Structures are given as structure tokens and as C-alpha cells.
Amino acid sequence: MSDEEKIVDVSQLPEDPFKMPPPYWRSGGAIFHVQESLEVLLHLLEKLIGVHDETELSLEEYYQKHPEPSDEESDDSEFADICDALWELEHRVKLKCEVAVLMSAIEAEDSINRFCVYNLSKHIAEPIETLSPPEKLIVASAVLGQPSPKGKDVFESIRKLSAWRNAFAHGHCVDRPTKSLRHNHLISPSEYPGIPSSLGSVKELVGGFTKVSDYLKSISKNPYTSGESADVEEIRSKVRALNRYRFVGNNYAYSIEVTKA
């Protein structure tokens, strides 16, 4: 496109979404963070298996030497030395889980926004910009003559992604209700988040992002938003790889099972 043809003002854009010229949608790039987080996460899980097994063996020897809990109030440096590598690795896994979910929520909203701009009239797309992602999905579906997505997997997916993102962005604990600061931050949960629950959230919520993407593609009237996305397919493939990992136990004590690809 020559300098003379470049779009430099919103007044140059057509009201008809099907006549939108290139250059096309400029994304914020959240999807690349999702891809990178999942890639690192898979490498960390491979490493976790060996570190977890070594830690379990060392703890067996430790408990043979110390069958009864110590009455001393001082820190048990021997126990900490045994678990330190595992704790550090678990922390890194949980951080990548949070990045993957947060960026999936952001990318899901970006996908809905792009869909609205390319499939709905400007007079509909612009007034609904301030709605939440679940609300936008309902409006967009109705305008295109589709049944309401409420009650369907895709709606639950975007609802949960948006709720997680909002809780995290406002500094709340994502595993606790957010009805009040006291309830969220001062009441201890029955079980604190760990590797099993963190990976479970990634599988559900990042997988939910792919459901949102699939739904938008299926109801799109504009070829620009109805085609396959190599980036989404890469994420789908990585989620399938994550599903090979199964954690038996709870967030404090677990074993790891890996199925064949």
C-alpha cells in the first residue's frame, strides 16, 4: 500500500464491515504470550517428573531417619534442602500457568472485538465496545441471527476467562470469591493452589479460549474472521500435550502420570 492509500484517520474506514480494506486488524499480541507460556510449561513439566521423583526418594530416607515430628521450633534446614529444587520448579510452573490463562483471556476479548468490527455494522459494533466479553458475544450472536450462546460451553468459557482476568487484574486471589476484599484476602481456602489445580485451570481456560475462537469462526459472515488460524491450532496442540499429564493426589502431595502421545 502506498503512502497515499494508507489509512491515517478513522473517518477513512467504511461503515460496512465487509468493505474494510487492508491493512487488517492489528492485534495486541497476547496470543504469542500464550504460545510461549505453554511451550515453556511443557518443558518445565518434563523436568518436574525427574525432580519430583528424586525429591520423593530423598523424603523417604528423611522420614526413615525422622519418624516423629520434631518438637523444636527452629526451621528444618534438612527438609528445606531436600524440597528446595522442587519448590522452585513448582513456583515457575505456577507462574507460567497464570501467564497462559491471563493472556488467553485477553486474546479471547481481542478475538471478539475483531469479530464485531468485521461482522457487525459500525452502528452496532461501536455502541457495544464497553460491554463485557460475554455480553458482546450475546449481542453479536443475536445480530447475526444465531441462538443465544448462554448455557453453552462457549459462553461458560468466555465468562470464566473474563472472571479470572478481572480478579487477577484487580489484585484478587483467583481461587477465592471476589464479593468482598475481606472475603477474598483474609479467609483461608480449604486448599491453597498447587500444581494439580494450576494445570487444571490452564487446561480448562486456555482450552476455553480455543472454544471461543471456534465459535466465532463458525458464525462469521466475513471471510476474514472465518478462516483457520495457525496460532490457535498451535495452542490447541499444546493443550492436547498438557492433557497427557495427570496428577493424582492433591495440591500438597501428588504423583504424576503421563500418557503416551
Q: Supply the DSSP string of 71-96, one letter for each residue.
A: ---S--HHHHHHHHHHHHHHHHHHHH
pLDDT value of residue 4: 52
pLDDT in tens, 166-179: 999 999 999 999 98
**Residue 75 pLDDT greater than 80, yes or no:** no
Helix (H) or strand (E) holding 248: strand 245-249
Under the banding of pLDDT at 50, 70 and 90, the label for residue 243 is very high
pLDDT value of residue 72: 59
pLDDT value of residue 1: 47
Distance from C-alpha of 27 to C-alpha of 39, rounded to nearest angstrom: 21
Mean per-residue pLDDT of the chain: 93
pLDDT value of residue 205: 98
Rounded average pLDDT over 204-217: 98
H helices of the chain, in order, are 30-65, 77-119, 122-125, 133-143, 153-169, 181-185, 195-219, 230-242
Question: Grid coordinates standing for 217?
Answer: 469462526
Q: How many percent of the chain have pLDDT more than 70?
A: 95
The values of phi and psi at residue 254, to 5°, are -150, 160
pLDDT value of residue 74: 55
Q: Please choose, from the candidates 118, 126, 143, 129, the residue with its C-alpha nearest in 3D space to the C-alpha of residue 19.
A: 118
Distance from C-alpha of 55 to C-alpha of 81, rounded to nearest angstrom: 10
Question: Grid coordinates standing for 216?
Answer: 466465532
**Residue 5 pLDDT greater than 70, yes or no:** no
Rounded average pLDDT over 225-237: 96
Rounded average pLDDT over 105-112: 98
**Residue 214 pLDDT greater than 50, yes or no:** yes
SS3 label, residue 19: helix
pLDDT value of residue 48: 98
Collect all residues with Cβ–Cβ distance below 8 Å to 228 and sequence separation of at least 6: 217
Collect all residues with Cβ–Cβ distance below 8 Å to 38 and sequence separation of at least 6: 96, 100, 202, 206, 235, 238, 239, 242
- Angle 15-19-24 from CA coordinates, rounded to 5°: 100
The DSSP output letter for 256 is: E
